[in-house]
Structure 1
Amino acid sequence: MRTQEWIKASLKDQGCKLKDVAEALGITPPRVTDIIKGKREVQADEIIPLAELLNLSAKSLLKSLEEGKRTILADETIATIPITGLLFGDGRLVANPANESVQEVPVPPGLTSNEGLHCFIMGDSSMAKEIKQGDIIITADPRTHFYPMTPGGIFLVKRGKDKLALRQMVTAEGGETWLAPVPEQPNPAFESWRFSALPQVLEATTSKGTENSLSPTVYTDDIFAAVQWVHRRYMPQAAK
Protein backbone atom coordinates (compact mmCIF):
# COMPACT_ATOMS: atom_id res chain seq x y z
CA MET A 1 0.00 0.00 0.00
CA ARG A 2 1.12 3.55 -0.70
CA THR A 3 2.12 5.90 2.08
CA GLN A 4 -0.21 8.87 2.56
CA GLU A 5 2.15 11.49 3.97
CA TRP A 6 0.26 14.17 2.01
CA ILE A 7 -2.53 13.91 4.57
CA LYS A 8 -0.34 15.65 7.17
CA ALA A 9 0.16 18.70 4.95
CA SER A 10 -3.53 18.82 4.06
CA LEU A 11 -4.49 18.68 7.74
CA LYS A 12 -2.13 21.56 8.48
CA ASP A 13 -3.75 23.59 5.69
CA GLN A 14 -7.17 22.97 7.27
CA GLY A 15 -5.95 23.78 10.78
CA CYS A 16 -6.53 20.20 11.94
CA LYS A 17 -4.46 17.57 13.72
CA LEU A 18 -4.23 13.79 13.66
CA LYS A 19 -6.51 13.56 16.68
CA ASP A 20 -9.18 15.38 14.66
CA VAL A 21 -8.98 12.64 12.02
CA ALA A 22 -9.27 9.98 14.70
CA GLU A 23 -12.34 11.70 16.14
CA ALA A 24 -13.98 12.16 12.73
CA LEU A 25 -13.41 8.54 11.69
CA GLY A 26 -14.17 7.00 15.08
CA ILE A 27 -10.77 5.27 15.29
CA THR A 28 -7.71 5.59 17.51
CA PRO A 29 -4.79 7.94 16.68
CA PRO A 30 -2.44 4.96 16.08
CA ARG A 31 -4.81 3.74 13.34
CA VAL A 32 -4.57 7.18 11.70
CA THR A 33 -0.78 6.88 11.79
CA ASP A 34 -1.10 3.46 10.14
CA ILE A 35 -3.12 5.06 7.30
CA ILE A 36 -0.43 7.70 6.76
CA LYS A 37 2.32 5.06 6.81
CA GLY A 38 0.42 2.91 4.33
CA LYS A 39 -0.25 0.09 6.80
CA ARG A 40 -4.03 0.51 6.85
CA GLU A 41 -6.50 1.39 4.10
CA VAL A 42 -9.24 3.98 4.55
CA GLN A 43 -12.51 2.09 4.99
CA ALA A 44 -15.61 2.77 2.87
CA ASP A 45 -17.53 4.43 5.70
CA GLU A 46 -14.56 6.70 6.41
CA ILE A 47 -14.33 8.23 2.92
CA ILE A 48 -16.88 11.04 3.35
CA PRO A 49 -15.84 12.24 6.83
CA LEU A 50 -12.17 12.21 5.82
CA ALA A 51 -12.92 14.01 2.56
CA GLU A 52 -14.84 16.72 4.46
CA LEU A 53 -11.97 17.13 6.94
CA LEU A 54 -9.44 17.49 4.10
CA ASN A 55 -11.71 19.73 2.01
CA LEU A 56 -11.80 17.27 -0.87
CA SER A 57 -14.58 15.61 -2.78
CA ALA A 58 -14.98 11.89 -2.21
CA LYS A 59 -13.72 11.18 -5.74
CA SER A 60 -10.66 13.41 -5.28
CA LEU A 61 -9.87 11.72 -1.96
CA LEU A 62 -10.05 8.28 -3.55
CA LYS A 63 -7.75 9.44 -6.37
CA SER A 64 -5.36 10.97 -3.82
CA LEU A 65 -5.21 7.73 -1.85
CA GLU A 66 -4.59 5.80 -5.08
CA GLU A 67 -1.69 8.06 -6.09
CA GLY A 68 -0.30 8.75 -2.62
CA LYS A 69 -0.48 12.53 -3.10
CA ARG A 70 -3.16 15.22 -2.90
CA THR A 71 -5.00 15.15 -6.22
CA ILE A 72 -7.97 17.29 -7.16
CA LEU A 73 -10.07 16.15 -10.11
CA ALA A 74 -10.99 19.35 -11.94
CA ASP A 75 -13.42 17.84 -14.44
CA GLU A 76 -15.66 15.90 -12.06
CA THR A 77 -19.29 16.70 -11.44
CA ILE A 78 -20.13 16.02 -7.81
CA ALA A 79 -23.72 15.44 -6.78
CA THR A 80 -24.45 16.82 -3.34
CA ILE A 81 -27.29 16.70 -0.83
CA PRO A 82 -28.24 19.93 0.98
CA ILE A 83 -28.65 19.65 4.73
CA THR A 84 -32.34 20.25 5.40
CA GLY A 85 -31.99 20.98 9.09
CA LEU A 86 -31.60 19.62 12.61
CA LEU A 87 -33.83 16.78 13.80
CA PHE A 88 -35.11 16.61 17.38
CA GLY A 89 -36.75 13.75 19.24
CA ASP A 90 -40.03 15.59 19.68
CA GLY A 91 -40.43 15.92 15.90
CA ARG A 92 -39.13 19.45 15.49
CA LEU A 93 -37.16 20.20 12.34
CA VAL A 94 -35.02 23.31 12.81
CA ALA A 95 -33.37 25.02 9.84
CA ASN A 96 -29.63 24.47 9.50
CA PRO A 97 -27.95 27.60 10.96
CA ALA A 98 -26.52 29.93 8.33
CA ASN A 99 -23.17 29.91 10.12
CA GLU A 100 -22.99 26.11 10.10
CA SER A 101 -19.77 25.15 8.31
CA VAL A 102 -21.41 22.24 6.49
CA GLN A 103 -24.44 23.09 4.36
CA GLU A 104 -24.31 20.13 1.97
CA VAL A 105 -22.54 16.79 1.65
CA PRO A 106 -21.51 14.65 -1.34
CA VAL A 107 -23.75 11.73 -2.20
CA PRO A 108 -22.40 8.48 -0.72
CA PRO A 109 -19.84 6.47 -2.73
CA GLY A 110 -21.38 4.47 -5.53
CA LEU A 111 -24.21 6.94 -6.16
CA THR A 112 -24.27 9.62 -8.86
CA SER A 113 -27.58 11.28 -8.02
CA ASN A 114 -29.24 12.67 -4.90
CA GLU A 115 -32.67 11.47 -6.02
CA GLY A 116 -34.70 10.22 -3.06
CA LEU A 117 -32.02 11.28 -0.55
CA HIS A 118 -32.33 13.78 2.29
CA CYS A 119 -29.68 14.99 4.70
CA PHE A 120 -30.11 16.14 8.32
CA ILE A 121 -28.07 16.79 11.45
CA MET A 122 -29.06 15.04 14.68
CA GLY A 123 -30.13 17.83 17.00
CA ASP A 124 -30.38 16.04 20.34
CA SER A 125 -29.71 12.83 22.26
CA SER A 126 -33.00 11.02 21.53
CA MET A 127 -31.15 8.42 19.40
CA ALA A 128 -27.81 8.58 21.22
CA LYS A 129 -27.24 4.81 21.40
CA GLU A 130 -27.22 4.71 17.60
CA ILE A 131 -26.85 8.29 16.36
CA LYS A 132 -25.00 10.93 18.36
CA GLN A 133 -25.93 14.59 18.60
CA GLY A 134 -24.24 16.41 15.73
CA ASP A 135 -23.99 13.35 13.46
CA ILE A 136 -24.84 13.91 9.80
CA ILE A 137 -27.65 11.61 8.66
CA ILE A 138 -28.49 10.69 5.08
CA THR A 139 -31.92 9.15 4.68
CA ALA A 140 -33.37 7.48 1.63
CA ASP A 141 -36.96 7.13 0.51
CA PRO A 142 -37.50 3.35 0.87
CA ARG A 143 -39.70 3.46 -2.20
CA THR A 144 -36.76 4.70 -4.31
CA HIS A 145 -33.86 3.00 -2.52
CA PHE A 146 -34.87 -0.43 -1.26
CA TYR A 147 -34.60 -0.76 2.51
CA PRO A 148 -36.39 -3.51 4.45
CA MET A 149 -38.71 -2.39 7.24
CA THR A 150 -37.35 -4.80 9.81
CA PRO A 151 -36.38 -4.49 13.50
CA GLY A 152 -33.10 -2.67 13.96
CA GLY A 153 -33.75 -0.23 11.12
CA ILE A 154 -33.97 3.48 11.87
CA PHE A 155 -36.74 5.42 10.19
CA LEU A 156 -37.77 9.04 9.79
CA VAL A 157 -41.43 9.23 10.76
CA LYS A 158 -43.98 11.88 9.81
CA ARG A 159 -45.72 13.13 12.95
CA GLY A 160 -48.21 15.79 11.96
CA LYS A 161 -47.58 18.88 9.85
CA ASP A 162 -43.88 19.72 9.37
CA LYS A 163 -42.78 17.21 12.03
CA LEU A 164 -40.24 14.45 11.44
CA ALA A 165 -38.77 12.23 14.14
CA LEU A 166 -36.19 9.44 14.07
CA ARG A 167 -37.08 6.14 15.70
CA GLN A 168 -35.63 2.63 15.70
CA MET A 169 -37.86 -0.32 14.90
CA VAL A 170 -37.93 -2.81 17.79
CA THR A 171 -39.99 -5.86 18.72
CA ALA A 172 -41.58 -5.91 22.18
CA GLU A 173 -41.81 -9.03 24.35
CA GLY A 174 -45.44 -9.50 23.34
CA GLY A 175 -44.50 -9.55 19.66
CA GLU A 176 -45.73 -6.05 18.78
CA THR A 177 -43.50 -3.87 16.64
CA TRP A 178 -42.68 -0.39 17.91
CA LEU A 179 -40.77 2.64 16.70
CA ALA A 180 -38.80 3.79 19.71
CA PRO A 181 -36.19 6.39 20.66
CA VAL A 182 -32.87 5.06 21.98
CA PRO A 183 -31.38 7.72 24.30
CA GLU A 184 -28.56 6.84 26.69
CA GLN A 185 -30.94 7.47 29.60
CA PRO A 186 -34.76 7.06 29.55
CA ASN A 187 -36.51 10.32 28.72
CA PRO A 188 -40.32 10.57 28.80
CA ALA A 189 -40.14 13.54 26.43
CA PHE A 190 -39.38 11.12 23.59
CA GLU A 191 -42.41 9.04 22.59
CA SER A 192 -42.60 5.52 21.22
CA TRP A 193 -45.21 4.50 18.64
CA ARG A 194 -46.71 1.16 17.69
CA PHE A 195 -46.00 0.23 14.07
CA SER A 196 -48.35 -1.61 11.75
CA ALA A 197 -47.50 -2.79 8.26
CA LEU A 198 -51.21 -3.27 7.52
CA PRO A 199 -53.21 -0.58 5.70
CA GLN A 200 -54.91 1.69 8.20
CA VAL A 201 -58.37 0.74 6.92
CA LEU A 202 -57.78 -2.84 8.11
CA GLU A 203 -56.74 -1.73 11.58
CA ALA A 204 -59.14 -1.43 14.47
CA THR A 205 -56.99 1.37 15.82
CA THR A 206 -57.50 4.73 14.10
CA SER A 207 -55.00 6.73 16.10
CA LYS A 208 -52.77 7.74 13.18
CA GLY A 209 -51.37 11.18 13.86
CA THR A 210 -53.12 11.51 17.21
CA GLU A 211 -50.40 12.94 19.38
CA ASN A 212 -52.42 12.67 22.64
CA SER A 213 -53.26 8.97 22.27
CA LEU A 214 -51.71 6.59 24.81
CA SER A 215 -50.35 4.43 21.98
CA PRO A 216 -50.45 6.18 18.61
CA THR A 217 -49.97 3.88 15.67
CA VAL A 218 -47.58 4.56 12.82
CA TYR A 219 -48.37 3.04 9.42
CA THR A 220 -46.23 2.42 6.37
CA ASP A 221 -47.46 5.64 4.78
CA ASP A 222 -46.13 7.54 7.80
CA ILE A 223 -42.56 6.44 7.05
CA PHE A 224 -40.88 9.35 5.30
CA ALA A 225 -37.46 7.77 4.85
CA ALA A 226 -34.99 5.22 6.21
CA VAL A 227 -31.57 6.08 7.63
CA GLN A 228 -28.94 4.52 5.38
CA TRP A 229 -25.77 6.49 6.16
CA VAL A 230 -24.56 8.21 9.33
CA HIS A 231 -21.40 10.31 9.22
CA ARG A 232 -19.62 11.36 12.36
CA ARG A 233 -17.43 14.44 12.18
CA TYR A 234 -15.20 16.32 14.55
CA MET A 235 -17.33 18.90 16.34
CA PRO A 236 -15.70 20.91 19.14
CA GLN A 237 -19.18 22.08 20.16
CA ALA A 238 -22.08 19.77 19.36
CA ALA A 239 -25.34 21.35 18.18
CA LYS A 240 -27.84 21.97 20.96
Structure 2
Amino acid sequence: MIFDTHAHYDDEAFDEDREELLTSLYNHGIEAVTNVGASMETSRHTLELAEKYPYIYGAIGVHPNETGELNEEDLAWLKEHSSHKKIVAIGEIGLDYYWDEPDHETQKKWFIRQLSLAREVKLPVIIHSRDAAKDTLDIMRSEGGKDIGGVIHCFSYGKEIAREYLNMGYYLGIGGVLTFKNAKKLKEVVEYMPMEQLVLETDCPYLAPAPNRGKRNSSINLPYVVQEISAIKGIPEETVIDITNQNAKRLYRLKEQL
Protein backbone atom coordinates (compact mmCIF):
# COMPACT_ATOMS: atom_id res chain seq x y z
CA MET A 1 0.00 0.00 0.00
CA ILE A 2 1.00 3.62 -0.54
CA PHE A 3 2.56 5.90 2.09
CA ASP A 4 1.98 9.61 1.43
CA THR A 5 4.96 11.26 3.12
CA HIS A 6 3.79 14.89 2.84
CA ALA A 7 0.23 16.21 3.03
CA HIS A 8 -1.65 19.19 4.47
CA TYR A 9 -5.06 17.77 5.37
CA ASP A 10 -5.58 20.53 7.93
CA ASP A 11 -5.86 22.98 5.00
CA GLU A 12 -9.20 24.75 4.59
CA ALA A 13 -9.54 23.13 1.16
CA PHE A 14 -10.61 19.98 3.05
CA ASP A 15 -13.03 21.64 5.49
CA GLU A 16 -16.16 20.36 3.76
CA ASP A 17 -15.25 16.67 3.44
CA ARG A 18 -12.14 16.03 5.55
CA GLU A 19 -13.62 13.22 7.64
CA GLU A 20 -15.15 11.47 4.64
CA LEU A 21 -11.96 11.70 2.61
CA LEU A 22 -9.59 10.59 5.37
CA THR A 23 -11.71 7.60 6.33
CA SER A 24 -11.78 6.50 2.68
CA LEU A 25 -8.02 6.48 2.16
CA TYR A 26 -7.43 2.86 3.15
CA ASN A 27 -9.99 1.65 0.61
CA HIS A 28 -8.04 3.59 -2.03
CA GLY A 29 -4.82 1.77 -1.20
CA ILE A 30 -3.34 4.42 1.11
CA GLU A 31 -1.84 2.87 4.23
CA ALA A 32 -0.47 5.96 5.96
CA VAL A 33 0.01 9.72 5.64
CA THR A 34 2.34 12.22 7.27
CA ASN A 35 0.59 15.54 7.76
CA VAL A 36 3.11 18.35 7.76
CA GLY A 37 3.02 21.61 9.71
CA ALA A 38 4.02 24.83 7.95
CA SER A 39 3.33 27.31 10.76
CA MET A 40 2.67 27.21 14.48
CA GLU A 41 -1.07 27.03 13.83
CA THR A 42 -0.84 24.24 11.28
CA SER A 43 1.60 22.35 13.50
CA ARG A 44 -1.05 22.38 16.24
CA HIS A 45 -3.69 21.19 13.76
CA THR A 46 -1.32 18.46 12.59
CA LEU A 47 -0.98 17.21 16.15
CA GLU A 48 -4.77 17.04 16.43
CA LEU A 49 -5.10 15.04 13.20
CA ALA A 50 -2.35 12.62 14.26
CA GLU A 51 -4.10 12.02 17.56
CA LYS A 52 -7.47 11.43 15.88
CA TYR A 53 -6.47 9.07 13.06
CA PRO A 54 -4.23 6.04 13.73
CA TYR A 55 -2.84 6.05 10.17
CA ILE A 56 -1.87 9.73 10.20
CA TYR A 57 1.55 10.76 11.50
CA GLY A 58 2.69 14.33 11.96
CA ALA A 59 5.59 16.68 11.39
CA ILE A 60 5.82 20.00 13.19
CA GLY A 61 7.83 23.00 12.10
CA VAL A 62 7.66 26.41 10.47
CA HIS A 63 7.91 26.98 6.71
CA PRO A 64 10.48 29.64 5.71
CA ASN A 65 7.81 32.10 4.58
CA GLU A 66 6.18 31.90 8.02
CA THR A 67 9.35 32.52 10.05
CA GLY A 68 8.87 36.30 10.30
CA GLU A 69 6.70 35.86 13.40
CA LEU A 70 8.66 32.96 14.92
CA ASN A 71 10.07 33.40 18.44
CA GLU A 72 11.81 31.47 21.22
CA GLU A 73 8.50 30.57 22.87
CA ASP A 74 7.36 28.92 19.64
CA LEU A 75 10.60 26.99 19.39
CA ALA A 76 10.10 25.76 22.96
CA TRP A 77 6.60 24.55 22.01
CA LEU A 78 8.00 22.66 19.01
CA LYS A 79 10.63 21.05 21.22
CA GLU A 80 8.06 20.02 23.84
CA HIS A 81 5.68 18.43 21.35
CA SER A 82 8.37 16.77 19.24
CA SER A 83 8.37 13.96 21.80
CA HIS A 84 4.75 13.06 20.98
CA LYS A 85 4.61 9.44 19.80
CA LYS A 86 2.93 10.38 16.50
CA ILE A 87 5.35 13.21 15.61
CA VAL A 88 7.94 11.76 13.24
CA ALA A 89 9.83 14.78 11.86
CA ILE A 90 10.63 18.47 12.17
CA GLY A 91 9.25 20.27 9.14
CA GLU A 92 8.63 21.70 6.85
CA ILE A 93 11.65 23.95 7.27
CA GLY A 94 14.14 25.52 4.89
CA LEU A 95 14.44 28.46 2.51
CA ASP A 96 12.04 29.97 -0.02
CA TYR A 97 13.36 32.85 -2.11
CA TYR A 98 10.41 32.86 -4.52
CA TRP A 99 8.72 35.34 -2.18
CA ASP A 100 10.43 38.39 -0.68
CA GLU A 101 9.03 37.94 2.83
CA PRO A 102 10.56 37.47 5.25
CA ASP A 103 14.08 38.56 4.32
CA HIS A 104 16.67 35.90 3.56
CA GLU A 105 18.61 36.39 6.79
CA THR A 106 15.49 35.77 8.88
CA GLN A 107 14.76 32.61 6.90
CA LYS A 108 18.33 31.39 7.35
CA LYS A 109 18.31 32.09 11.09
CA TRP A 110 15.21 30.01 11.77
CA PHE A 111 16.21 27.29 9.32
CA ILE A 112 19.42 26.80 11.30
CA ARG A 113 17.58 26.93 14.62
CA GLN A 114 15.08 24.29 13.50
CA LEU A 115 17.85 22.07 12.13
CA SER A 116 19.49 22.30 15.55
CA LEU A 117 16.20 21.41 17.19
CA ALA A 118 15.85 18.32 14.99
CA ARG A 119 19.35 17.22 15.94
CA GLU A 120 18.60 17.79 19.62
CA VAL A 121 15.35 15.81 19.63
CA LYS A 122 16.73 13.17 17.24
CA LEU A 123 14.11 13.52 14.52
CA PRO A 124 14.60 13.70 10.73
CA VAL A 125 13.83 16.93 8.86
CA ILE A 126 11.51 17.78 5.99
CA ILE A 127 13.33 20.37 3.88
CA HIS A 128 11.54 22.96 1.75
CA SER A 129 13.85 24.66 -0.76
CA ARG A 130 12.56 26.91 -3.53
CA ASP A 131 14.78 29.12 -5.67
CA ALA A 132 17.42 28.75 -2.94
CA ALA A 133 19.52 25.79 -4.02
CA LYS A 134 22.96 27.09 -3.05
CA ASP A 135 22.04 28.62 0.31
CA THR A 136 20.03 25.56 1.35
CA LEU A 137 22.87 23.20 0.49
CA ASP A 138 25.48 25.44 2.15
CA ILE A 139 23.49 25.48 5.39
CA MET A 140 22.86 21.74 5.26
CA ARG A 141 26.60 21.17 4.95
CA SER A 142 27.68 23.69 7.58
CA GLU A 143 25.04 22.56 10.10
CA GLY A 144 25.75 18.85 9.77
CA GLY A 145 22.57 17.99 7.92
CA LYS A 146 24.05 14.63 6.93
CA ASP A 147 23.92 13.53 10.56
CA ILE A 148 20.29 14.60 11.01
CA GLY A 149 18.74 12.82 8.03
CA GLY A 150 15.44 13.45 6.31
CA VAL A 151 13.80 14.28 3.01
CA ILE A 152 14.03 17.05 0.44
CA HIS A 153 10.34 17.77 -0.04
CA CYS A 154 8.96 18.38 -3.55
CA PHE A 155 12.43 18.12 -5.04
CA SER A 156 12.70 20.68 -7.84
CA TYR A 157 16.37 20.98 -8.78
CA GLY A 158 18.56 19.10 -11.26
CA LYS A 159 20.74 16.01 -11.06
CA GLU A 160 23.78 17.83 -9.65
CA ILE A 161 21.90 19.06 -6.57
CA ALA A 162 20.11 15.70 -6.30
CA ARG A 163 23.48 13.95 -6.18
CA GLU A 164 24.60 16.12 -3.26
CA TYR A 165 21.56 15.25 -1.15
CA LEU A 166 21.55 11.59 -2.13
CA ASN A 167 25.21 11.37 -1.07
CA MET A 168 24.17 12.87 2.28
CA GLY A 169 21.71 9.99 2.67
CA TYR A 170 18.59 12.09 2.13
CA TYR A 171 15.41 10.92 0.50
CA LEU A 172 13.82 12.93 -2.31
CA GLY A 173 10.07 13.56 -2.16
CA ILE A 174 8.43 13.01 -5.55
CA GLY A 175 4.84 13.99 -6.31
CA GLY A 176 2.44 15.22 -8.94
CA VAL A 177 4.90 17.54 -10.70
CA LEU A 178 6.59 14.42 -12.14
CA THR A 179 3.52 13.84 -14.35
CA PHE A 180 3.65 17.32 -15.91
CA LYS A 181 4.77 17.47 -19.53
CA ASN A 182 7.30 20.22 -18.76
CA ALA A 183 8.94 18.28 -15.89
CA LYS A 184 11.91 17.11 -17.96
CA LYS A 185 14.48 17.97 -15.28
CA LEU A 186 12.59 16.09 -12.57
CA LYS A 187 12.09 13.06 -14.82
CA GLU A 188 15.86 13.00 -15.35
CA VAL A 189 16.41 13.08 -11.59
CA VAL A 190 14.02 10.16 -11.04
CA GLU A 191 15.70 8.18 -13.81
CA TYR A 192 19.10 8.86 -12.23
CA MET A 193 18.38 8.34 -8.53
CA PRO A 194 18.18 5.00 -6.70
CA MET A 195 14.69 3.78 -5.84
CA GLU A 196 15.91 3.23 -2.28
CA GLN A 197 15.93 6.99 -1.67
CA LEU A 198 12.64 7.92 -3.31
CA VAL A 199 9.46 8.59 -1.35
CA LEU A 200 5.98 9.47 -2.59
CA GLU A 201 4.24 12.67 -1.55
CA THR A 202 1.28 14.79 -2.58
CA ASP A 203 1.76 18.19 -0.87
CA CYS A 204 -2.03 18.17 -1.05
CA PRO A 205 -4.17 20.14 -1.58
CA TYR A 206 -1.49 21.45 -3.96
CA LEU A 207 0.26 20.01 -7.04
CA ALA A 208 -2.30 17.50 -8.26
CA PRO A 209 -0.85 15.23 -10.96
CA ALA A 210 -2.06 15.03 -14.54
CA PRO A 211 -4.85 14.42 -15.47
CA ASN A 212 -6.14 16.36 -12.44
CA ARG A 213 -3.66 19.24 -12.61
CA GLY A 214 -5.12 22.44 -11.18
CA LYS A 215 -7.71 20.61 -9.06
CA ARG A 216 -7.54 19.88 -5.34
CA ASN A 217 -5.00 17.17 -4.72
CA SER A 218 -5.24 14.25 -2.28
CA SER A 219 -3.45 10.99 -1.54
CA ILE A 220 -5.93 9.22 -3.82
CA ASN A 221 -4.07 10.73 -6.80
CA LEU A 222 -0.75 9.07 -5.96
CA PRO A 223 -1.27 6.10 -8.33
CA TYR A 224 -0.70 8.56 -11.21
CA VAL A 225 2.73 9.34 -9.76
CA VAL A 226 3.40 5.62 -9.27
CA GLN A 227 2.58 5.01 -12.95
CA GLU A 228 5.04 7.68 -14.05
CA ILE A 229 7.85 6.33 -11.85
CA SER A 230 7.09 2.80 -13.09
CA ALA A 231 7.43 3.97 -16.70
CA ILE A 232 10.65 5.92 -16.07
CA LYS A 233 12.31 3.15 -14.06
CA GLY A 234 10.97 0.24 -16.09
CA ILE A 235 9.73 -1.61 -13.01
CA PRO A 236 6.22 -2.80 -12.04
CA GLU A 237 3.93 -0.36 -10.24
CA GLU A 238 3.64 -2.81 -7.34
CA THR A 239 7.41 -2.65 -6.91
CA VAL A 240 7.33 1.14 -6.83
CA ILE A 241 4.64 1.04 -4.14
CA ASP A 242 6.45 -1.58 -2.03
CA ILE A 243 9.86 0.12 -2.16
CA THR A 244 8.55 3.63 -1.48
CA ASN A 245 6.42 2.34 1.40
CA GLN A 246 9.45 0.81 3.08
CA ASN A 247 11.50 3.93 2.33
CA ALA A 248 8.88 6.12 4.04
CA LYS A 249 8.96 3.95 7.15
CA ARG A 250 12.74 4.13 7.28
CA LEU A 251 12.67 7.89 6.70
CA TYR A 252 10.26 8.43 9.60
CA ARG A 253 11.83 5.66 11.71
CA LEU A 254 8.60 3.74 12.11
CA LYS A 255 10.42 0.57 13.08
CA GLU A 256 7.36 -1.06 14.61
CA GLN A 257 5.74 -0.96 11.17
CA LEU A 258 8.55 -2.75 9.34
Both proteins in one fold, TM over 0.5:
no
Q: Of Structure 1 and Structure 2, which has the larger fraction of its residues in helix? A: 2
TM-score when scaled to structure 1?
Answer: 0.28
User: Which is greater in Rg?
Assistant: 1
User: What TM-score does the superposition give when structure 2 sets the normalisation length?
Assistant: 0.27
Hey, which of these two has a bigger chunk of strand by percent? 1
